[in-house]
Amino acid sequence: MTDSDIAVSPAGWVAKQARVYEESGGTKGTTLQGAPCLLLDYEGRKSGQWRRTVLIYGRDGDDYLIVASYGGADDHPLWYLNLQANPDVRLRVGTERFTARAETLSPEDKARVWDSLVELFPPYADYQKKTSRDIPVVRLSRTDG
């Protein structure tokens, strides 16, 4: 599969940042408001088409953590719904590309890592206050060694 086979999120800034990130081989476009970002390629649950988005990430040991905040909206972001249906994903983190498996953290694990994610990107705290839904945190565990 080539990059031309992947649909990028329709939000203008996401498409631009994803393009810069990928075209630079992971040397540019790797932060958002000072926080580290990765490229997440995932399979659409209805279309089967591969899609790409840019997400801030934290770390938990060797794993990557992403937050399904959607700016505090009352609905989950579409990428999160797709990961629930198809948890096998591809990541670009800086110059490295690899496969991973997505898993939503348990409430206990989320509580353990939440403060570090808010420290990384303080708006997460406000997003959680804006919505009645519990904002999921997703663990991305490398699968290709």
Domains of the chain: 3-142 (2.30.110.10)
- Distance, in Å, from the CA atom of 84 to the CA atom of 103, rounded to the nearest integer, reads 8
Q: Output the pLDDT for position 8.
A: 57
3-state helix, strand, coil in the chain (%, to 5): 35, 35, 35
pTM attached to this predicted model = 0.91
Task: Give me the residues of the chain with pLDDT under 50, please.
Answer: none
Q: Output the pLDDT for position 9.
A: 53
Give the H/E segment covering residue 58.
Answer: strand 58-60
Residues comprising the chain, all counted: 145
Whether the CB-CB separation of 55 and 61 falls below 8 Å is answered with no
Q: Output the pLDDT for position 3.
A: 56
Q: Which two tokens stand for residue 21?
A: 């990130």
